[in-house]
Amino acid sequence: MHALIAFIDLTAVAVFAASGALVASRKQMDLIGFGLMAAITGVGGGTLRDLLLDRPVFWVADAKPLAVCLAVAVVLFFTAHVIQRRYQVLLWADGIGIALYGVMGAELARLSGAGPLVAIVMGMMTATFGGLIRDVICAETPLVLRKEVYATCAVAAAAVHIGLVFAGIPIEAAAIAGFGAGFALRAAGIVRGLSLPPYKGRPGKDY
Amino acid sequence: MHALIAFIDLTAVAVFAASGALVASRKQMDLIGFGLMAAITGVGGGTLRDLLLDRPVFWVADAKPLAVCLAVAVVLFFTAHVIQRRYQVLLWADGIGIALYGVMGAELARLSGAGPLVAIVMGMMTATFGGLIRDVICAETPLVLRKEVYATCAVAAAAVHIGLVFAGIPIEAAAIAGFGAGFALRAAGIVRGLSLPPYKGRPGKDY
Amino acid sequence: MHALIAFIDLTAVAVFAASGALVASRKQMDLIGFGLMAAITGVGGGTLRDLLLDRPVFWVADAKPLAVCLAVAVVLFFTAHVIQRRYQVLLWADGIGIALYGVMGAELARLSGAGPLVAIVMGMMTATFGGLIRDVICAETPLVLRKEVYATCAVAAAAVHIGLVFAGIPIEAAAIAGFGAGFALRAAGIVRGLSLPPYKGRPGKDY
């Protein structure tokens, strides 16, 4: 299980790092800027998760996650121009990341003894955190402010995983189902613009 | 005392969660967006406080704060439109929150053995943190940048409370006086635009 | 060594606090706003470092760093107008800070048993964090988004220090060399606009 968690962590780190490096390319940063954005975005969500759960921060004791971030940054610094539709790739990488971290954040919270509500919120927060700081630092519109489903996908990934685990399904199957649900939902958001009904009230007299 | 702290925490969480959900309504988010903003704003300040003081994060072991945030989010998603002057309500909810967290942050720092200066700064930081990340995520102008008193109210709440406790006043009375001072000051800021003298120098030649 | 670390910490806190207070002066804040920005910017990077390394947060047990921040805030509230080119002073104060924290963050990570990669990234992150939240809160363009070398200087300070320590040079000499390298690089960035080659690709079809 520990090996599986470490592997999923590395995958999530890599895709978030790629999304961070792609934002760096949109801002015409230099190689160190690519490394900074890849590292912050790549390990941001897992760092928040570990601080909240009072676990040792996963990339401090083990250099592999940072090595992955920096490798992704270097590769994209020299190759991002071959990607024609870079913002789309950024969205897909980010989408894989939120589905993975939605499951991972919820599962690690559950292993720490948290109940379902805390586990699902932990999945939601840690999945969206890396992308949030990436967008805030780079003055991009945070993806949570866009109309199509986003945080919803992290919630779906976490809720499906936690629901199946509490229903007695083996953890690996529950994790795959959770990831699939979250990622499929996000894919529908990116491709079809799928959205939940927004708040409909008037903006308020003193907006 | 623990029951009192837990109750005040829940109240502060509820009013900050309401301010987060009201910002979500201004941004026309969906129900999950309401939940995310209510949760981040509701537990943000207390989370920073617990991390800084090396206490277990208050909403990880106990699901009540999150349940309060989500309940507030659901209620406001369906009822915020009946509030005519929604930004005013947001300001008042936020004002109750900063006065409560100003006292709470200072008191918990004091219980951890901190001196008055550290306790008051802890009150200031934890009281303003939830609102800061709410405004930064949603690209609203942070309230600390506005002219009228804001961070000052958290400082007042913390300083009155800490001063009275060090003067030998019972904690409950000191907390009520601290809350009253901070909230009255903020009320004067919201209603009358009360402000401290701003920095008066020229912006600088290279502004 | 502990006394030296504490002294360097205080110096870094003071220069970052000055940069925070100078941003507050650009935003025409009141005295409490100066104190808040000086405190957040002054202790921000060290706080992140201590949370990540699971050390007690340095300003909670010891009030000196906060006292320095508030003294800097008060002095600058009344004297910043005598500084003609305030943004330049802000840049230089920030530059001293990132070189100091680049070395400090890396060294404390190394003392915690981290390898060179983790130590250098810790230096980079903790050196840039205080300035990042200062700029995000105050809606200034984060310095990492500017063309000239910035995060690079923190990396240089951390890498030179760590490289020399691993090469057997005494820690004090390595720290001075690391600080000198990072600060000289930043000075070249401020004075000459020294920059690394930016990413050159097209912005992408769907920018």
Percentage of residues of chain B with pLDDT beyond 70: 95
- Chain A residues touching residue C204 (CB < 8 angstroms): 25-26, 83-87
Chain C residues close to B155, C-beta within 8 Å: 32, 35
Of C113, C195, C199, nearest to A24 by CB-CB distance is: C199
Q: Determine, for residues B115 and C77 on separate chains, whether the beta-carbon distance falls below 8 Å.
A: no
* Range B118-141 average pLDDT: 92
Which residues does chain C have within 8 Å of residue B145's beta carbon, measured at their own beta carbons?
27, 29, 137-139
The 3-class SS string of A80-132 reads: HHHCCCHHHHHHHHHHHHHHHHHHHHHHHHHHCCCCHHHHHHHHHHHHHHHHH
Note down the domain range covering B148: 2-192
Which of A124, A136, A201 has the CB atom closest to B80's CB atom? A201
Q: Is there a domain that residue C93 lies in? A: yes
Helix (H, G, I), strand (E, B) or coil at B145: helix
Q: Is residue C205 part of a domain?
A: no
Answer whether residue A202 is part of any domain. Answer: no
Question: Which residues is A30 bridged to in the sheet?
Answer: C198
Task: Using CB atoms within 10 Å of the CB of residue C141, give its burial: 0 to 12 exposed, 13 to 18 middle, 19+ buried.
Answer: exposed
pLDDT digits (tens, 9 = 90+) for A13-26: 999 999 999 999 98
- In angstroms, rounded to a whole number, what is the distance separating the alpha carbons of residues C189 and C193? 4
Residues in chain A with pLDDT values less than 50: 207
* Residue A207 pLDDT: 47
The Cα C21–Cα C80 span in angstroms is 9
* Four-point Cα dihedral B135, B138, B141, B144, nearest 10: 10
C206 part of a folded domain? no
pLDDT in tens, A122-168: 999 999 999 999 999 988 888 888 888 899 999 999 999 999 999 99
Inspect the interface and report whether the beta carbons of C204 and A87 lie closer than 8 Å. yes
Residues in chain C predicted with pLDDT less than 50, given as ranges, are: 207
Three-state SS for A67?
helix
Q: Is residue B162 part of a domain?
A: yes
pLDDT at position A202, please?
A: 58
What tens digit of pLDDT does each residue of B26-59 get?
888 999 999 999 999 999 999 999 999 999 999 9
Tell me, what's the pLDDT at C141? 86
Answer whether B86 sits within 8 Å of A198, measured CB to CB: no
Model ipTM? 0.89
User: DSSP assignment of B157-182, as one string?
Assistant: HHHHHHHHHHTT--HHHHHHHHHHHH
Q: Show residues of chain B in contact with C40, CB under 8 Å.
A: 125
With respect to residue B154, please indicate whether it lies within any of the assigned structural domains. Answer: yes
State residue C83's pLDDT score: 77
Find how far residue C206's CA is from the centre of its chain.
35
Give domain status of residue A205, yes or no.
Answer: no
User: Which candidate, B59, B57, B62, B71, places its Cα nearest to that of B17?
Assistant: B71
- pLDDT of B162 reads 97
> How many domains is chain B built from?
1
Q: Coil, strand, or helix at residue B30?
A: strand
8 Å CB contact of C52 and A60: yes
Residues belonging to chain B with any Cβ–Cβ distance to chain A shorter than 8 Å: 24-36, 39-40, 47, 51, 56-57, 59-61, 63, 66-67, 70, 77, 80-81, 83-88, 136-139
With beta carbons under 8 A apart, name residues in chain B contacting C70: 117
Q: What is the pLDDT of residue C207?
A: 47
Interface test with C, best of B144, B155, B202 (most C CBs within 10 A): B144
